[in-house]
Amino acid sequence: MAVKVGLVGLRGIGLQHVRAHKADELSDLVAVCDVVKERADKTAEEFGVKAYYTMQDMLREEPQLEMIDVTTGGYENGSWHYEPAMEAIEAGKAVLVEKPLSNDVYEAREMVKRANEKKVYLGCNLNHYFTPTAEKAKAYMDSGQIGELVYCLHKMGFNGGDQTYSPNKNSRWNGFPYAHLKAFLSHPFAVMRYFCGDVTHVQAFVNRPGVRRTASDVMLSTVSVNLRFANDCVGVLLSQRGDCNFGLGGWWSLEISGTRGAFCIENCIEKLTFWPSPGTGKAGSPEKMSGGSLDGPEVFNSGIADFGETFPRRIHAFLEDVTNKVPRESLRANGRDALAALEYTWAVMESYENGGAMVRPHPLPTIHGDPASTKD
Ligand SMILES: NC(=O)c1ccc[n+]([C@@H]2O[C@H](COP(=O)([O-])OP(=O)(O)OC[C@H]3O[C@@H](n4cnc5c(N)ncnc54)[C@H](O)[C@@H]3O)[C@@H](O)[C@H]2O)c1
């Protein structure tokens, strides 16, 4: 039986989610909601579902809804998540929230806490690792071909420069120094944590280029973060928002290297390359400084160039987890995972405000587990 879904927030990203639900056999999109009546009516008519203008009305009139998809935005792309998400949690629904979980870490902590108390699924659209490239990279790790993790280097941001720069006049962005950090870093931090585990130390330098200063744009858009993971792996994250061009690997690249091999994902969903370490398999010899495999590295091209493909893939994973009634702590890209990314973002801001000091991120809530869903 398909999951009965209500969706709230119907602009660009909301419509992308609507299309994903309509195309997914695990989803039965029943109703959509937006406080702007025309948006709700137009979408409802186009997709043959019911329109609502408040969450309260939708929850009251459609008690059969099992899942609420929250695709609202707001200040720093996250201030309108808390209210509809909490209403859905209180109503006992499975909730999928766009990233960031909130633009306020205190609200995000409350959301995760309340979802735990109510024993409902809380997921986040951390879509960047719901890709065939990430799947294959994880398989290299799981089969021991990467070995003990040594470093993780991630570059993620929007390519640009002073010729393409234009000030963001949108009142939900303009005047917020931390808007890029809060709205965007959830993705790279979630990706790095997905592959390398929890982060214990954060140290950051944060900046903005002259073109922004001249335009009196206060947004801090260039970020360099040093990380240490609990497993002793070290990491570097470079993120920017239209300040410059990323060279190798495109707008999204992730290189992870261990004692047995290294991989690099380029352009998120497009390409994965794997290099076995010298002495393993078909690897080249260290004396010749050849570094890679004798036959060249293994290259996997997914054949997908459209980043938009990450949305239906991630939404499908949530629908699968809800359908399969997985234990809440096994929900993929869950609220706690999204909270971790926000805690690291808050640590970046604290580091910046203290001249680049090293910061220990706020601890994550303990996972207690549910005896009823423990099989062994
Ligand atoms: N995962 C990704 O790759 C990705 C990419 C871009 C944006 N996003 C995220 O998607 C989210 C939505 O982005 P957007 O640009 O479409 O947002 P938006 O702010 O332009 O639109 C939000 C819509 O929600 C409606 N709304 C707000 N609060 C409401 C409420 N309580 N009840 C009913 N309707 C309400 C607004 O009227 C508006 O139509 C943001 O959080 C953003 O961070 C994610």
Tell which atom from ligand 1 comes closest to the C-alpha of 12.
Answer: 16
Which protein residue has the closest C-alpha to ligand 1 atom 43? 77
Same domain? For 193 and 61 the reply is no
Q: Tell me what pLDDT residue 372 has.
A: 78
Q: Tell me what pLDDT residue 274 has.
A: 97
For residue 17 and ligand 1, the question of a CB distance below 6 A is answered with no
Contact by Cβ (8 Å): 224, 156: no
Same domain? For 164 and 63 the reply is no
Q: Tell me what pLDDT residue 295 has.
A: 57
Number of domains in the chain: 2
Q: Tell me what pLDDT residue 333 has.
A: 98
- Across the beta sheet with 298-301, the strand order is 298-301, 271-276, 261-266, 252-258, 149-158, 234-241, 222-229, 199-207, 358-359
Joined together, the tokens standing for residue 168 give: 């963001």
Question: What's the gap in Å between 54 CA and the centre of ligand 1?
Answer: 15
pTM: 0.96
Same domain? For 270 and 249 the reply is yes
Q: Tell me what pLDDT residue 190 has.
A: 98
Question: What's the gap in Å between 168 CA and the centre of ligand 1?
Answer: 17
Pocket test for ligand 1, best of 7, 13, 17, 39 (most atoms within 8 A of CB): 13
Q: Is residue 365 part of a domain?
A: no
Q: Is residue 341 part of a domain?
A: no
For residue 170 and ligand 1, the question of a CB distance below 6 A is answered with no
For residue 194 and ligand 1, the question of a CB distance below 6 A is answered with no
Question: What's the gap in Å between 74 CA and the centre of ligand 1?
Answer: 7
Q: Is residue 343 part of a domain?
A: no
Same domain? For 121 and 134 the reply is no
CATH number for the domain spanning 179: value is 3.30.360.10
Same domain? For 74 and 18 the reply is yes
Question: What's the gap in Å between 150 CA and the centre of ligand 1?
Answer: 38
In whole angstroms, give the CA distance from residue 206 to residue 349.
Answer: 8
Joined together, the tokens standing for residue 270 give: 């497009």
Same domain? For 288 and 168 the reply is yes
Question: What's the gap in Å between 79 CA and the centre of ligand 1?
Answer: 10
CA atoms within 13 A on the CB side of 298: 17
Contact by Cβ (8 Å): 365, 112: yes
CATH number for the domain spanning 47: value is 3.40.50.720
- 188 is in which domain, residue-wise? 129-305
Which protein residue has the closest C-alpha to ligand 1 atom 6? 13
Question: What's the gap in Å between 14 CA and the centre of ligand 1?
Answer: 6
Q: Is residue 353 part of a domain?
A: no
Same domain? For 159 and 277 the reply is yes
Q: Is residue 375 part of a domain?
A: no
Q: Tell me what pLDDT residue 369 has.
A: 86
Q: Final residue of a domain: which of 305, 325, 351?
A: 305
Residue 77's nearest CA partner among 186, 161, 208 is: 186
Neighbours of 174 (CB within 10 A): 14
Q: Tell me what pLDDT residue 191 has.
A: 99
Contact by Cβ (8 Å): 30, 65: yes
Q: Is residue 344 part of a domain?
A: no
In whole angstroms, give the CA distance from residue 258 to residue 280.
Answer: 12
Same domain? For 175 and 201 the reply is yes
Q: Is residue 364 part of a domain?
A: no
Tell which atom from ligand 1 comes closest to the C-alpha of 126.
Answer: 1
Same domain? For 159 and 194 the reply is yes
Q: State the Cα torsion 206-211-214-218 to the nearest 10°.
A: -30
Same domain? For 172 and 263 the reply is yes
Q: Final residue of a domain: which of 288, 305, 322?
A: 305
Question: What's the gap in Å between 185 CA and the centre of ligand 1?
Answer: 17
Same domain? For 135 and 251 the reply is yes
For residue 43 and ligand 1, the question of a CB distance below 6 A is answered with no
- List the pLDDT tens digit at each of the 376 positions of the chain: 899 999 999 999 999 999 999 999 999 999 999 999 999 999 999 999 999 999 999 999 999 999 999 999 999 999 999 999 999 999 999 999 999 999 999 999 999 999 999 999 999 999 999 999 999 999 999 999 999 999 999 999 999 999 999 989 999 999 999 999 999 999 999 999 999 999 999 999 999 999 999 999 999 999 999 999 999 999 999 999 999 999 999 999 999 999 999 999 999 999 999 999 988 866 555 555 555 555 579 999 999 999 999 999 999 999 999 999 999 999 999 999 999 999 999 999 999 999 999 999 999 999 998 787 766 7
Coil, helix or strand at residue 124? strand
Q: Tell me what pLDDT residue 119 has.
A: 96
For residue 8 and ligand 1, the question of a CB distance below 6 A is answered with yes
Q: Is residue 376 part of a domain?
A: no
Same domain? For 172 and 59 the reply is no
In whole angstroms, give the CA distance from residue 180 to residue 1.
Answer: 40
